[in-house]
Amino acid sequence: KTQVEQSPQSLVVRQGENCVLQCNYSVTPDNHLRWFKQDTGKGLVSLTVLVDQKDKTSNGRYSATLDKDAKHSTLHITATLLDDTATYICVVGDRGSALGRLHFGAGTQLIVIP
Amino acid sequence: EAAVTQSPRNKVAVTGGKVTLSCNQTNNHNNMYWYRQDTGHGLRLIHYSYGAGSTEKGDIPDGYKASRPSQENFSLILELATPSQTSVYFCASGARTGRNNQAPLFGEGTRLSVL
């Protein structure tokens, strides 16, 4: 059973527009949640990590929220650039230690057009 | 610079053949992981290791073996490759503590086609 669901599956926006990606999960316990960016044909690169019960982070044009009560996270991308075209993957860690498992969503494919 | 290097980047194999995927990390990380990525699925854990000489089964280990001969190297072995193992394989390394602010580092992937 899929424990991390991302929506939308794909999204097309025009350069300069803002967008919001969603992540819902059922992983328990939910120690932390991380967003990765995956360029086509490349590996995953971490964008941000959220830890607290109600958490917010900001990394340049990327900002994210986490609500552990709702088991829900959002990734906001402001003023999109063509280089933002990628797959964005939500990952939930069930423990803070190295013994914990990472639970991966299938990703949202974002395409930014001129 | 921290890095995870996978080889080969692309591989075409025949059904029943043996395939070895290699991974090298220069991060001095204790933990290493092998995942596969298929369309419509999140990354799925095949095997992982806590250090040289150790290998552990992940969530989908059937048909795969792993080898960790040193801190830096972690291999994934398909003794008898099948078309269902056609996928993109990712290696990752992570620190032993795995604390929240230490993200695992990923290689760029190996695209394997089994014909």
User: Using CA atoms, how far apart are residues A4 and B42, in angstroms rounded to an integer?
Assistant: 8
Task: Record the tokens describing residue B28, joined without a space.
Answer: 């001095």
- Interchain contact, A95 vs B98, CB within 8 Å: yes
Higher pLDDT, B103 or B70: B70
Q: What is the pLDDT of residue B55?
A: 96
User: Using CA atoms, how far apart are residues B34 and A98, in angstroms rounded to an integer?
Assistant: 15
- Interchain contact, A44 vs B44, CB within 8 Å: no
Contact list in A for residue B46 (CB cut-off 8 A) is none
Where b means 16+ CB within 10 Å and e means fewer, B51-89 reads eeeebeebeebeebebbbeebbebbbebeebeeebbbbb
pLDDT in tens, chain A (114 residues): 789 999 999 999 999 999 999 999 999 999 999 999 999 999 999 999 999 999 999 999 999 999 999 999 999 999 999 999 999 999 999 876 666 788 999 999 999 999
Nearest to A77 by CA among A22, A26, A6: A22
- The chain B residue lying nearest A32, using CA atoms, is B100
Amino acid code (one letter) for B112: L
Query: Cβ distance A18 to B80 under 8 Å?
Result: no
